[in-house]
């Protein structure tokens, strides 16, 4: 079965986030996501990007419309502390660290997330959001 | 012989006491009965610390305490001028909501952080109500298509209006529209002590110590969303505000926490891509 996929490359600048939100909204339409769920997806993506301190390169977003939800891949990320946190090796028990407990946020906003290693020290994060 | 006015506030020496020595009631009486402007100034001076204190509560929302104090002072003057001395309440009781109302109005008027077409602003306001209505009718969070149909606009219009709403930094204050301010104020005040139980857990496990920078309602909302697993719709019903407002408060709170933690860590927040939450 074919899976519709939308790929978007954006400059790493805050001014483009609304555009990303609109695209995510347009895709969410196809899966009949509720306003609650759409806002969760957008916030999850925003949270990830806010936590990533990488400053170079574009943001690459790939959204796959699966039968029962959306798979959203966000890259290219390079923040090593964020990666540790996402892998559960991070500072969840060290409240004075700068990063929020991003795992808790993502788990609250999506069904699942996975770190996907890319070339060099970079990686992407896949978010899985179930529809309905 | 010149008869001295019999006024309990005068000293036996015959010299009128300095205004600073007069009780508040007497100052208010002079303001209202005699139009005594120096007495009015004295009241303003006495209550400026209260105004500053209230202004500081709003300072995390991007405006300086000085500016907000000035705005709040207008509310204070209104409170003094409108105060009914026959009512058995203190001026502070009356002035506090008046000052806060003035500050909230200021934020509301300045709320649209970027230029958004009027039609989108209006649709955003409409959607706020429509989401609530549809949530009750459908017994679930509405989809974009549901909202579009209810408003008689395209789905793209709905998306744009929702996104434009993020440009509206209505703050994590007391409601997004003029009509719900008073209710929201009451809601904030009514958050009971039972809701405080979560604080310790959160501060130990989650976003400590920056959580203390959030107000009680913001902490409650984060707790309900991320610890209790409640949806925005459920939180909206629980707290008594709109779903859109819950969304804004969550974003605002997270952004504030990030900033606070970055400051506490002594790190300049590198330039991560931050969006509406920080606006």
List pLDDT tens digits, range A70-122.
Answer: 999 998 898 888 888 888 764 444 444 444 578 888 988 999 999 999 988 89
Residue B13 maps to a domain: no
Which positions 142-171 of B are in contact with A (Cβ < 8 Å)? 142-145, 147, 155-156, 159-160, 162-163, 166
Q: Cα-flanking dihedrals φ and ψ of residue B154, to 5°?
A: -80, 160
Residues B117 and B72 in one domain: no
Asked whether residue B3 is assigned to any structural domain, the reply reads: no
Mutate to test the interface with A, among B141, B153, B275, B278 (most CBs of A within 10 A): B275
Work out the burial of residue B122: count CB atoms within 10 Å of its CB; fewer than 13 is exposed, 13-18 middle, 19 or more buried. exposed
**Which residue range is the domain that position B66 belongs to?**
19-109
User: Same domain, yes or no, for B104 and B125?
Assistant: no
Residue B101 sits in the same domain as residue B127: no
Give tens-digit pLDDT for B118-151.
Answer: 788 889 889 988 998 999 899 899 999 999 999 9
Inter-chain CB proximity A100 and B141 less than 8 Å: no
Q: Are residues B25 and B99 in the same domain?
A: yes
Is residue B142 domain-shared with residue B193, that is, in the same domain? no
What sections of chain A are H helices per DSSP?
17-30, 35-51, 80-86, 102-109
Residues in B 206-245 with any Cβ partner in A closer than 8 A: 206-209, 225-226, 229, 231-233, 243
Chain B residue numbers with beta carbons less than 8 Å from the beta carbon of A13 are 273
Tell if the CB–CB gap between A46 and B166 is shorter than 8 Å: no
Instruction: For residue B154, tell me if it sits in a domain.
Output: yes
Q: Does A55 touch chain B (CB under 8 A)?
A: yes
pTM score, two decimals?
Answer: 0.60
Domain of B52: which CATH number?
1.10.1740.10
In this structure, the answer to whether residues B96 and B118 fall within a common structural domain is: no
Determine which of A107-116, B112-121, B168-177 has the lowest per-residue pLDDT on average.
Answer: B168-177
What's the pLDDT score for residue B77? 92
Q: Which of B90, B70, B87, B91 is nearest to B79 (CA)?
A: B91
pLDDT surpasses 70 at B110: no
Residue B4 forms part of a structural domain: no
Cis peptide leading into B209, omega within 30 of 0?
yes
SS3 for B268? coil
Domain ranges of chain A: 4-130
Token pair 């995390």: residue: B60
State yes or no: ipTM above 0.85.
Answer: no
Q: Which residues of B touch A30 (CB under 8 A)?
A: none
Chain A: give the shortest CA distance to residue B221, in Å. Answer: 13
Question: What's the Rg (C-alpha) of chain A?
Answer: 14
**Of B278, B260, B274, B139, which Cα lies nearest the Cα of B210?**
B260
Q: Give the tokens for residue A40.
A: 């969760």
Contact B241, B182 (CB under 8 A): no
Give domain A4-130's CATH number out of 3.40.1170.10, 3.30.365.10, 3.30.565.10, 3.40.50.12660.
3.30.565.10
State the residue for tokens 């705005």: B71
Query: Does A36 contact B204 at a Cβ distance shorter than 8 Å?
Result: no
Share of chain A above pLDDT 90, in %: 42
Q: Which residues of B touch A43 (CB under 8 A)?
A: 247, 250-251, 254
Query: What is the domain count for chain B?
Result: 3
Q: What is the pLDDT of residue A20?
A: 92
Q: CATH code at B159?
A: 1.10.10.10
Give the per-residue pLDDT at B67. Answer: 83
Are the CB atoms for B105 and B174 separated by under 8 Å? no
Q: How far is CA B79 from CA A3, B24, B47, in A?
A: 63, 14, 11
| Strands A4-10 vs A59-66: parallel, antiparallel or unpaired | antiparallel
Residue B12 lies inside a defined structural domain of this protein: no
pLDDT of residue A36 exceeding 50: yes
Q: Are residues B73 and B161 in the same domain?
A: no
Return the residue in B130, B165, B259, B272 with the most chain A beta carbons within 10 A, the one to mutate for interface testing.
Answer: B272
Closest in A50, A101, A104 to B274, CB measured: A50
């Amino acid at each position: 079965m074919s899976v519709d996929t939308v790929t978007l490359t954006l400059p790493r600048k805050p001014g483009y986030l609304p555009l990303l939100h609109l695209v995510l909204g347009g895709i969410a339409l196809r899966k009949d996501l509720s306003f609650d769920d759409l806002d969760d997806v957008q916030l999850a993506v925003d949270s990830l990007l806010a936590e990533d301190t990488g400053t170079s390169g574009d943001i690459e977003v790939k959204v796959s419309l699966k039968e029962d939800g959306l798979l959203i891949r966000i890259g290219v990320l390079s923040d090593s502390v964020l990666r540790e946190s996402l892998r559960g090796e991070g500072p969840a028990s060290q409240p004075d660290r700068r990063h929020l407990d991003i795992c808790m946020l993502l788990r609250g906003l999506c069904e699942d997330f996975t770190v996907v290693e890319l070339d060099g020290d970079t990686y992407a994060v896949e978010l899985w959001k179930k529809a309905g | 012989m010149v008869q001295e006015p019999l006024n309990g506030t005068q000293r036996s020496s015959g010299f009128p006491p300095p205004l600073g020595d007069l009780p508040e009631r007497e100052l208010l009486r002079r303001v209202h009965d005699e139009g005594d402007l120096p007495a009015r100034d004295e009241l303003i001076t006495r209550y400026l610390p209260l105004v500053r204190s209230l202004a500081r509560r709003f300072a995390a929302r991007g405006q300086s305490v000085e500016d907000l104090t000035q705005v709040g002072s207008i509310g204070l003057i209104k409170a003094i001028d409108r105060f009914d001395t026959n009512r058995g309440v203190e001026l502070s009781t009356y002035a506090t909501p008046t000052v806060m109302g003035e500050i909230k109005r200021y934020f509301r008027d300045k709320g649209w952080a970027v230029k958004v077409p009027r039609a989108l602003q209006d649709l955003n306001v409409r959607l706020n109500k429509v989401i609530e209505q549809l949530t009750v009718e459908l017994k679930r969070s509405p989809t974009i298509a549901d909202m579009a149909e209810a408003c008689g606009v395209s789905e793209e219009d709905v998306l744009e209006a929702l996104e434009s709403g993020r440009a509206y930094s209505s703050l994590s204050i007391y409601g997004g529209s003029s009509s719900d301010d008073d209710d929201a104020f009451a809601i904030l005040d009514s958050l009971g002590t039972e809701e405080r139980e979560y604080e310790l857990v959160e501060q130990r496990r989650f976003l400590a110590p920056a959580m203390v920078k959030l107000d009680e309602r913001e902490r409650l909302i984060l707790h309900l969303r991320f610890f209790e697993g409640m949806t925005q719709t459920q939180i909206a019903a629980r707290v008594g505000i709109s779903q859109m407002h819950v969304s804004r408060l969550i974003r605002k709170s997270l952004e504030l926490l990030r900033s606070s933690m970055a400051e506490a860590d002594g790190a300049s927040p590198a330039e991560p891509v931050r969006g509406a939450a920080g606006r």
